[in-house]
Structure formats: structure tokens, C-alpha cells
Amino acid sequence: MVVISQNPTMKMEKIRDDIELPIINLCNRSEAMKEMVKACEEYGFFKVINHGVPQGIISQVEEEARGFFAKPGPEKMRAGPPYGCKNIGLQGDVGEVEYLILQTNSPFIIPTDESNKFRSAINAYVEAVRKLACDILDLLVEGVCGSEGGSALSRLMRDSENDSILRLNHYPAGEVSKIGFGEHTDPQIITLLRSNGVEGLQISVQDGLWVPVNPYPDSAFCVNVGDILRVMTNGRFVSVKHRVAVQAYESRMSIAYFVAPALHATVSCLPGLGLPLYRSFTWGEYKQAVYTGRLADTRLNLFALPSHHNL
Ligand SMILES: C=C1C[C@]23C[C@@]1(O)CC[C@H]2[C@@]12CC[C@H](O)[C@@](C)(C(=O)O1)[C@H]2[C@@H]3C(=O)O
Ligand SMILES: O=C(O)CCC(=O)C(=O)O
Ligand SMILES: [Fe+2]
């Protein structure tokens, strides 16, 4: 069904609530491979269950994160640059969100975390989601390039200098008219997202038509294609705009693991996928374009090859 939003800041936007993202069971690997490829082509989003990340590890990090965000503002500010509130990026974007952004391949300290419980929980979580991300990327390459594709994608994240990050977001309950995190695509290869079961995430299936992502089932990870994976699959997979709407009834918390190559790694189309739509570039070059632009920008246009190249 298509309903017109009554919402003042999401004015007259159409919300389509009859699309459900596929829930893919990783136990059946050959089925999962086909379903994931289809979902990446169609929606750029899917959910995975039986993903192998222990529930204990997830609960631990969620509990520590809840404790951190419940602290008074000045204490959270003590966490320094990993902590941010309302300001998103460097170019003036804002949202009803507070967050922690952590580089995953270098040691970090959260000054409020005297017992180091939060840090240990994060480290255990990153190790587990990293394995899951490798597994998903290997299946996706095989699904697109066959077994010759090997570990073309997962090797980028296995590089000890990979630039993957973990982001913990907290959207306090409030006026539903407000946007927690404005529309954007994720610039990296792939994102693995957990939420505390509170709604808010929406994806853009076509211009101006938003689909809410149901947080069910609680145990699932929501996975989405980033811009780099779009380039590497020569546009076959789509990196889709998404956003987060504030909920009136409860605070949303989410934990996103963004898989990124090393800054010096070259990003180009995988073999056998036709004439490239985008020129090759390094992740460092793309990241610079990302941070000099606004949240909602379609940054990949800057790297598109002229269409005559594809004739
Ligand atoms: C406004 C911005 C925030 C962002 C960097 C950017 O310039 C454009 C992309 C944004 C985004 C979206 C996905 C991730 O949450 C993020 C960490 C990323 O890599 O790109 C954020 C950036 C951010 O919040 O720093
Ligand atoms: O909080 C969410 O559900 C999504 C957050 C997001 O899209 C991001 O951090 O890039
Ligand atoms: Fe995102």
C-alpha cells in the first residue's frame, strides 16, 4: 500500500509499506548465494539469519552502548572525537542522532570506559562481524563471477590497513516529524547493521518513495551494498539511499560495521562484467570526495566514465 506521509519534515512523501526485504538463511549456502545476489540487484539491502555472530557478543555490546548513551551529555563529550551529537560529517549536515565512530584496525580508548568493558565488548563484536562480512563477500563474488572470483572482495578487508569502521548510533525518542539521519548511500563496500528492534530505517526504492525496514527478526543483521561494491560489480548491485526517521515511542539504537578497503587500495570493476561504468580510483580518493561532499550527494557521478565509452 502507498500512503502519503503527514509528516512536516518528510512532507508529502510517499511511504510504501508493502515491500519486505528478503530474510536470507546463511545455513543453506548455495540458496543464500542466489538470494543475496538477487537482493543486491533489486534492493541493495537484505537481512541475514543464522549468521554465526553469537547472541552473547551482540547483547554485551548493545548493553554497553545503552549505558554509554544514557550518560549525561558532558560526560559523553569526554569521549572526544569518536563521539558526536547532531552534527553529521564536516559540511553542515545535522540529524537527531548521537553516535560513536571508531576505526576498527587501530586501538581506541573511550575515556568514560574506566573498566574497559565497552572496549572489550566492541573488540569481540568487531571480530565476529568481520568474519560474517568476509563470508558474505565471498558468497557474493562467487554469485557474480563464479568460483574464479575467489576472494576478490574479502581480500580488501583482510588487508591489515583496511579502513573499516564501527558506528554506534542513538536516536532519542521524539517528534516523528524529525529525521535522525538524512538520506545517503554508504560509501564503503558493504554495511552490516544491527538495531535494538525499534523501527526508523527507511530505504528509497525509487525517487521520493520510501520503504520502512521492519526490524524483524530481532536476531537478523541488515546488510546493504555500499558505493564501492556498486563500482566493483559494474552497477549490477545498487547502493541505495536510506535514512532514519525518529520514533515517538522509543529510542532507536543501531550498530553499523562499514567494510572498507585500505586507503591505497585500487577500486575497479571485477573481471567479466562488461565495459566499466566507472573509472578506477583508490579508496582514499573516494573517501576524500565523500568527506568534501554533503550527506545526500550522489558521489559516484564524479567517477562515472562518459557514456560513449560504453558504446
Ligand atoms: C556528511 C557526511 C557524513 C559521512 C561523511 C559525509 O561527508 C557523507 C557520507 C556520510 C557517511 C554515511 C555512512 C557512514 O555513517 C559514514 C561514517 C560514512 O562513511 O559516510 C558517514 C560519514 C560520517 O558521519 O562521518
Ligand atoms: O541507524 C541506522 O539504522 C542507519 C544508520 C546509517 O545509515 C549509517 O550510520 O550510515
Ligand atoms: Fe547508512
pLDDT above 70: residue 209: yes
In this predicted model, what pLDDT tens digit does every residue of 122-158 receive, in sequence order? 999 999 999 999 999 999 999 999 988 889 999 999 9
Is residue 59 within 8 A of residue 117, CB to CB? The reply is: no
ipTM: 0.99
179-184/190-195 β-pairing? unpaired
> What's the gap in Å between 294 CA and the centre of ligand 1?
9
pLDDT above 70: residue 286: yes
pLDDT above 70: residue 11: no
Q: Which atom of ligand 2 is nearest to the CA of 195?
A: 3
Please classify residue 112 by burial: count the beta carbons closer than 10 Å to its beta carbon, then call 0-12 exposed, 13-18 middle and 19+ buried. middle
In testing the pocket of ligand 1, which one of 189, 294, 295 has its CB within 8 Å of the most ligand atoms? Answer: 295
pLDDT above 60: residue 68: yes
Nearest CA to ligand 1 atom 14: 186
> What's the gap in Å between 29 CA and the centre of ligand 1?
32
Whole-angstrom distance, CA of residue 240 vs CA of residue 21: 13
Is the beta carbon of 186 within 6 A of some atom in ligand 2?
yes
Nearest CA to ligand 1 atom 12: 186
Q: Averaged over 73-79, what is the pLDDT?
A: 94
Mean predicted lDDT score pLDDT of the chain: 93
Whole-angstrom distance, CA of residue 80 vs CA of residue 65: 16
Q: Where are the domains of the chain?
A: 2-308
Is the beta carbon of 247 within 6 A of some atom in ligand 2?
no
Is the beta carbon of 242 within 6 A of some atom in ligand 2?
yes
Which one is the CATH code of 2-308: 3.40.50.2300, 2.60.120.330, 3.60.20.40, 2.30.38.10?
2.60.120.330
Q: Which atom of ligand 2 is nearest to the CA of 258?
A: 10
Cell of 136: 558474505
Report the amino acid identity of residue 236. R
